[in-house]
Amino acid sequence: MSQEHAGTESLENLLHETRSFPPPADFAARANVTASAYEDAARDREQFWARQARELLSWSTDFTEVLDFSGAPVARWFGDGRLNAAYNAVDRHVEAGHGERVAIHFEGEPGDTRTITYADLKDEVSRAANALTDLGVRTGDRVAIYLPLVPEAVIAMLACARVGAAHSVVFGGFSAEALHARIIDAEARVVVTADGGYRRGKAMALKPAVDEAIAKGGTPVEHVLVVRRTGQDTAMTDGRDVWWDDTVATASAEHEPVAVDAENPLFILYTSGTTGKPKGIMHTTGGFLTQTAYTVRAVFDLKPETDVYWCTADVGWVTGHSYVTYGPLVNGATQVLYEGTPDTPDKDRWWQIVAKYGVTILYTAPTAIRTAMKWGEELPGRHDLSSLRLLGSVGEPINPEAWMWYRRVIGGDRAPVVDTWWQTETGAIMISPLPGVTAAKPGSAQTPLPGISADVLDEAGQPVPDGHGGYLVLTEPWPAMLRGIWGDPQRYQDTYWSRFPGKYFAGDGAKKDEDGDVWLLGRVDDVMNISGHRLSTTEIESALVSHPVVAEAAVVGAKDDTTGQAVVAFVILRAEAVERADEEGEGADVVAELRNHVAKEIGPIAKPRSILVVAELPKTRSGKIMRRLLRDVAEGRPAGDVTTLADSSVMEQISTGMSG
Ligand code: ATP
Ligand code: MG
């Protein structure tokens, strides 16, 4: 640490990663976007985005104004332009002669499949738009969507966009209570749901949760539109509930998309709730579509004629909005949509799907990669994954060793890996390598995309020099930025714009390495203070995962009498290691070895006081580790708010392990 900067440093830089993977020459030669994009954007950022907006989208009224930030922190992009999102995602591809191209290869969990072309999609979305109109939905209304990951989820979103209504998708795994709160917050007049969906081989009912949510009272819901997915017995309320099959299927396939203002709300979506109560994030149309479309082209290098794209996210999360429904379809992509879990019927289901459809671009989350590492590389090894030419990661920092595993085992040591940093609030990817340009470093998101300005600041709001850590901020408005928290402008200002006035504070810690590349270091809420040293969770976790027996790790700071806080780690072992430990009874040795491993990799200051080997970690329903619950356990408290937890039994198991 340089002396002049020591005082204001907010995060220490511990881990040193020297591996780097330049793009394969043939990939670089054919890449959609080259290094000149950075120069273009730097010359005139607004004109760069205006060009993308015009090249990638069809506008019914062209815009004359690019960015208006006079109402900061609420931006207006392309404010006097008009367009329709569904027309951009569907109709214009049919008009351009691509109606026969497959838009969606749907794979149901039980193995049923559907092939939906762009022409089919246009008819379905048009029918659904007519049905929603018949149910009273008007431009400017809100519609709640509570569906499994079936094509109707995408169709319903696009149907809302087609009539100019905003959707509020609620993840199908959420309870009636969560649904109730979100319906009320958004004032949704219609809910689109299904009888149920398939999960782990079972038909899970969904409709009863909608009934329960409405029965709680206070909702403005007039109608419920019900997709038949499982065929299970479903109670329908006369006059309120209608079947998709009776309304959408019989509606006209002719529908004129409603051109809306670029700033018309496209959707409301709640954050994952990793750090607390979810926030209702509001996105609008023109800027959101511009940046999602651009990033699919630039970061995923999508070639719509030849690629088969698969983003594994549920539409209940922002990734499913930006990189299942809008970004890929606006580009005319062919994509895979898979309903179920990765271990049904077997733990190689994903790899079987990649081989079956010849997936070329795969976008998933570190949690899935680490789970696959835990299960062992023999499973992907059973399938031909040679079609894959690009791999993406999003949702959490990816530990360098998980990155290496992803590249080697899934990507055949050939496909570039892009680690993409963004948030529900940013709407689209912000910091990521460009696969045909950047020499990728395992575990680093590296570079703000062309047209995006980010920095890492110290406590005092000054940019940190290279080699130092601090707070990640975005320093200029971007097209897909949130336009606010639904119904709460003050909370928008307070949450994101008050820590560093005039700059958007993302809530994440980050460092710049010696080359100026950005490394994400986890939530600032999770930063530990060990004997006066501020340490991030991510680097210690990555050091643990770099040991060959560890698949996944979570680190927290627990109160300690001598050091203020002490590092407490929770680790999941790889399947091969668990078998060996069981045979040889070497559990205690593993813990000692891992403590020393951390000390050796990043220094004695980071050596965990204790390490607990666990079978599972507490995660949100979107798969992110919830460290605040582990901190409760490590400090001997009952775990706090667990309502956004995917599996509440995990906390009981861990608490028992801790005291036992
Ligand atoms: P809440 O804001 O309610 O706590 P959340 O932040 O988990 O929920 P999301 O918007 O889904 O909700 O997640 C965004 C966050 O995910 C980022 O702020 C960051 O912490 C993390 N993240 C996403 N992608 C990456 C990445 N590539 N590297 C590191 N962290 C990432
Ligand atoms: Mg967040």
396: CA distance to ligand 1 center in Å?
6
pLDDT value at 551 more than 80: yes
For residues 375 and 294, state if they share a domain: yes
- Cβ(84) to ligand 1 under 6 A? no
> Looking at the CA of 622, which ligand is closest?
1
ipTM over 0.95: yes
pLDDT digits 0-9 by tens, 473-485: 999 999 999 999 9
> Looking at the CA of 403, which ligand is closest?
1
89: CA distance to ligand 1 center in Å?
26
Q: Which of 426, 452, 478 is the last residue of a domain?
A: 452
Q: Which of 452, 469, 491 is the last residue of a domain?
A: 452
Q: What is the tally of helices (H) and strands (E) in the chain?
A: 24, 30
pLDDT digits 0-9 by tens, 19-51: 999 999 999 999 999 999 999 999 999 999 999
Count: domains in the chain: 2
Closest residue by CA, ligand 1 atom 27: 421
- Cβ(364) to ligand 1 under 6 A? no
Structural domain boundaries, residue 131: 25-452
The answer as to whether 279 is a domain residue is yes
- Cβ(624) to ligand 1 under 6 A? yes
pLDDT digits 0-9 by tens, 341-387: 999 999 999 999 999 999 999 999 999 999 999 999 999 999 999 99
For a ligand 1 pocket test, name from 269, 272, 622 the mutation site with the most ligand atoms within 8 angstroms of its C-beta: 272
For residues 438 and 562, state if they share a domain: no
SS3 309: strand
For residue 313, the domain's CATH number is 3.40.50.12780
470: CA distance to ligand 2 center in Å?
17
For residues 233 and 319, state if they share a domain: yes
Closest residue by CA, ligand 1 atom 1: 273
User: In percent, how much of the chain has pLDDT > 70?
Assistant: 97
Is 145 in contact with 156 (CB distance < 8 Å)? Answer: yes
For residues 179 and 54, state if they share a domain: yes
Q: Tell whether residue 138 is among the known ligand binding residues.
A: no
- Cβ(234) to ligand 1 under 6 A? no
- In the chain the first and final C-alpha atoms are separated, in Å, by 40
pTM of the entire predicted model: 0.96
For residues 170 and 79, state if they share a domain: yes
Q: Which of 392, 427, 452 is the last residue of a domain?
A: 452
**DSSP letter string over 419-487?**
E-B--TTT-S--B---TTT--B-TT--BSBPTT--EEEE-TTSPBPPTT-EEEEEE-S--TT---EETT
The answer as to whether 20 is a domain residue is no
- Residue 1: which pLDDT band, with cuts at 50, 70 and 90? very low
Angstrom distance (rounded) from CA 31 to CA 620: 35
Residue 257 φ/ψ, nearest 5 degrees: -60, 140
- Cβ(538) to ligand 1 under 6 A? no
Q: Tell whether residue 396 is among the known ligand binding residues.
A: yes
For residues 448 and 532, state if they share a domain: no
pLDDT digits 0-9 by tens, 595-608: 999 999 999 999 99
The answer as to whether 511 is a domain residue is no
The answer as to whether 272 is a domain residue is yes
pLDDT digits 0-9 by tens, 67-119: 999 999 999 999 999 999 999 999 999 999 999 999 999 999 999 999 999 99
pLDDT digits 0-9 by tens, 241-276: 999 999 999 999 999 999 999 999 999 999 988 887
- Residue 494: which pLDDT band, with cuts at 50, 70 and 90? very high
pLDDT at position 656 is: 82
pLDDT digits 0-9 by tens, 300-349: 999 999 999 999 999 999 999 999 999 999 999 999 999 999 999 999 99
- Cβ(506) to ligand 1 under 6 A? yes
For residues 130 and 219, state if they share a domain: yes
pLDDT at position 4 is: 46
For residue 572, the domain's CATH number is 3.30.300.30
For residues 349 and 444, state if they share a domain: yes
For residues 154 and 267, state if they share a domain: yes
The answer as to whether 29 is a domain residue is yes
The answer as to whether 562 is a domain residue is yes
Atom of ligand 1 nearest to the CA of 273: 3
Atom of ligand 1 nearest to the CA of 432: 27
pLDDT at position 8 is: 55
The answer as to whether 338 is a domain residue is yes
- Mean per-residue pLDDT over the chain, rounded: 95
Atom of ligand 1 nearest to the CA of 425: 10
Q: Tell whether residue 113 is among the known ligand binding residues.
A: no
- Residue 509: which pLDDT band, with cuts at 50, 70 and 90? very high
For residues 204 and 313, state if they share a domain: yes
The mean per-residue pLDDT over the stretch 389-395 comes to 98
For residues 269 and 125, state if they share a domain: yes
The answer as to whether 222 is a domain residue is yes
Atom of ligand 1 nearest to the CA of 279: 3
For a ligand 1 pocket test, name from 421, 432, 622 the mutation site with the most ligand atoms within 8 angstroms of its C-beta: 421
H/E stretch holding 378 reads helix 378-381
For residues 562 and 447, state if they share a domain: no
- Residue 277: which pLDDT band, with cuts at 50, 70 and 90? confident
For a ligand 1 pocket test, name from 399, 424, 471 the mutation site with the most ligand atoms within 8 angstroms of its C-beta: 424
Q: Tell whether residue 424 is among the known ligand binding residues.
A: yes
- Residue 141: which pLDDT band, with cuts at 50, 70 and 90? very high
Gyration radius of the chain's alpha carbons: 24
Q: Tell whether residue 419 is among the known ligand binding residues.
A: yes
Angstrom distance (rounded) from CA 436 to CA 456: 25
Which of 140-154, 220-234, 621-635 is the least confident region?
621-635
pLDDT digits 0-9 by tens, 405-426: 999 999 999 999 999 999 999 9
Q: Tell whether residue 202 is among the known ligand binding residues.
A: yes
Query: Which residues on neighbouring strands pair with residue 104, listed in sequence order?
Result: 116, 335
SS3 558: strand
- Residue 144: which pLDDT band, with cuts at 50, 70 and 90? very high
pLDDT value at 163 more than 90: yes
